[in-house]
């Protein structure tokens, strides 16, 4: 490749590698004008980025506030629901309390008093059953550690191994969830 435009190939390369004018040459009108325009463009870009940043920070703050408000609303709704459910359970137990109060006000024979308390006990069981509370069967059942709590192991050959001999405290389930295990005595064959 020979000469192009009257210059050698090496001179053309030197022009390509030439550095821009030094900062000290700002006095020249072409350089001063382009530098001021570049500064104006740079300041305009900086202002635009600052405005965008401020807008994004404002949106972030608003979104965080909305999220916090939504979280508080959800927590309040959950608490209201729990209170409503508890209120419903309490309403179903109030007739049992009324029956106990009436039974305690009446002067009666011990036999009549006992039959009255048995009726109230039945009323309470019915109210709990409507709420989904069920007693866990224990006596005569095979020991189940998911529903029974063994308080004592009794050596005996009168019952099968690991059979519940006696229920010391009744256990309960709410629907399929364990509320309280039954405390029991369990048979252990010698």
What pLDDT does residue 45 have?
92
DSSP code of residue 158: S
- Domain regions of the chain by residue span: 134-190
What pLDDT does residue 3 have?
47
pLDDT tens-digit profile, the chain (190 residues): 444 455 555 555 555 566 555 555 445 555 556 777 888 889 999 999 999 999 999 999 999 999 999 999 999 999 989 888 888 888 888 888 888 888 888 888 888 888 889 999 999 999 999 889 999 999 999 999 999 999 999 998 888 899 999 999 999 999 889 999 999 999 998 8
Greatest Cα pair distance in the chain = 135
Strand stretches in 60-160, DSSP E: 133-135, 148-155
CATH code of the domain occupying 134-190: 2.30.22.10
Report yes or no: 151 and 181 within 8 Å, Cβ to Cβ.
no
* CA 190/CA 175 separation, integer angstroms: 37
Question: Does the global pTM surpass 0.75?
Answer: no
Q: How far is CA 109 from the centre of its chain?
A: 55
């Amino acid at each position: 490749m020979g000469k192009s435009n009257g210059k050698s190939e090496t001179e053309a390369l030197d022009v390509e590698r030439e550095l821009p004018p030094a900062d000290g040459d700002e006095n020249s009108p072409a350089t001063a004008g382009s530098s001021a325009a570049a500064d104006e463009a740079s300041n305009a870009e900086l202002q635009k980025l600052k405005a965008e940043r401020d807008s994004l920070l404002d949106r972030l703050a608003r979104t965080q506030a909305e999220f916090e408000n939504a979280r508080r609303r959800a927590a309040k709704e959950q608490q209201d629901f729990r209170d409503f459910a508890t209120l419903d359970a309490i309403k179903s137990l109030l007739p049992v309390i009324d029956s106990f109060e009436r039974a305690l006000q009446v002067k009666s024979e011990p036999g009549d008093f006992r039959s009255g308390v048995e009726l109230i006990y039945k009323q309470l069981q019915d109210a709990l059953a409507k709420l989904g509370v069920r007693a866990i069967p224990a006596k005569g059942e095979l020991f189940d550690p998911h529903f029974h709590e063994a308080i004592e192991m009794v050596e005996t050959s009168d019952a099968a191994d690991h059979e519940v001999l006696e229920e010391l405290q009744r256990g309960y389930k709410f629907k399929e969830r364990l509320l309280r295990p039954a405390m029991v005595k369990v048979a252990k064959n010698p």
